[in-house]
Structure 1
């Protein structure tokens, strides 16, 4: 089913102000600073970050203090607790160009499975960019070929037994690209449908190299606060 051009326009319009020619390119977080916990579970090298020296709690930026205090509350009762040991180091963050190590404030008490890792507010102000009012949603990783234009777009779609995706609609502006796979229903096997979604992909060729532009998608559709959310793009030289 084809999407209406107005839906694509709404998604792309949110990135009209993206400073695509700025050097270095602004960081676009795909999870708004929240870590991809499955990545941390698969790669535990982040634990070595906490071998660094302590930082006095008085030096913590006020912008992240409420989140830090919430993290240190008792997990059962919610009662306030003392701040855990605080360090500063480069921590892992999910971006639209893959996992990156960025300046962060971190805590990792012994009774927690996952660390508190907050992007440094000063770095966020100077080096990141995000459309006002947009909420992150989904983060499948697409692959860009060495020519900069051939994109293997990965998404969650109808299982192969029930639909095919032979093509996709591509909408491009100077700052963003939107790819919408075209679904063709199949008869499918009879009986009970056991799978409702699976990872699919479609290969498209962009009219111009992706460059610093942002790959976006419709997410929950036009009018939603996730319409235009960014997607991750990896290259063969950066496998992620």
Structure 2
């Protein structure tokens, strides 16, 4: 079913305040900021960060003290414990333009599978942007061709044996772009349906280059805090940034 045009306008309106012309472009975090944990598990290079010099716990920014204390609680009893060895370095974060190494405060005690990684609050205030009250949703990555307009939009949809996506509706504003694939049901095989979703894709051409605009999605729709949440767009320029160091805090 086609998306309601009014809903599309509501989603785009959430990004009206995005400073699209600011240089450098504000960072838009996705997946609640930290790089997806399954990627952290696969990438061993970031672990060397914890061999660096420790920072006194007294220097931990007050905005993230509560989260750090909660992270260090005993995993069995929930009892409070002293903060683990604290490191200040560039850590891995997911953004709407691919993985970035950004200033962070991190801990990784021996009895934890995943580290504590919190974006530096001062850096977050100065260098990132996010609509108030919005939450991240999903981790699909779309790709943008070198022409800046041809977008391969990947999404979780109905399996190919049950539906086709021959086209998509595209809604654009000065600050954001929303793509909604058009589903055409097929006559599926007889019997029990075992698969309900898979990664699908559709190729669209934007009326203007994506540039610094944010690619967003409907997610669960109006009324949900994921409505209008950003997607990751990988471009040739941002692919070259994957191994580049993150910006400094100064």
Report the TM range for the smaller structure's normalisation. Answer: over 0.9
Deviation at 1:61, TM superposition (A): 0.2
Equivalence map 1:1-240=2 (5 Å) = 1-239=1-239
Residue 78 of structure 1: SS of its match in structure 2?
Answer: coil
* Structure 2 unaligned blocks of 5 or more: 243-250
> Matches of 2:170 and 2:218 in 1, distance apart?
12
With 182-191 and 40-49 compared, the bigger mean Cα shift is at: 40-49
Instruction: Give the drift of 1:185.
Output: 0.1
- Greater shift after overlay, 12-21 or 218-227? 218-227
Q: Distance in 1 between matches of 2:41 and 2:83?
A: 24
Deviation of 1:194 after TM superposition, in Å, equals 1.2
How far is 1:33 from its partner? 2.3
Distance of 2:159 and 2:236 partners within structure 1: 27
RMSD: 1.0
Q: How many Å separate the matches in 1 of 2:148 and 2:207?
A: 10
Shift in Å, 1:45: 1.2
Contact 2:33 2:93 (C-alpha < 8 Å) held by counterparts: yes
Quote how far apart the aligned CAs of 1:31 are.
2.0
Counterparts of 1:9 and 1:194, CA distance in 2: 35
1-side partners of 2:237 and 2:164: how far apart?
A: 30
Alpha-carbon distance in 1 for matches of 2:17, 2:184:
35
TM-score computed with the length of structure 2 as normaliser: 0.94
CA distance in 1, matches of 2:211, 2:198: 29
Deviations along 1:219-239, one digit per CA (max 9) or x if unpaired, are: 011222111000000014544
What are the Cα deviations for residues 133-188 of structure 1, in whole angstroms up to 9, with x where unaligned? 11111120000000000000000000000000000000000000000000000001
Structure 2 distance, partners of 1:210, 1:33, is: 22
After TM superposition, the score normalised by the length of structure 1 is 0.98
| Gap runs ≥5 in structure 1 | none
Of 163-172 and 217-226, more deviation after overlay is shown by 217-226
The whole-number CA distance in structure 1 between the counterparts of 2:92 and 2:179 is 27
- Contact 2:35–2:99 (Cα < 8 Å) also in 1: no
Runs of 4+ in 1 over 3 A off after TM superposition: 236-240
- Contact 2:26–2:127 at 8 Å: present in 1 too? yes
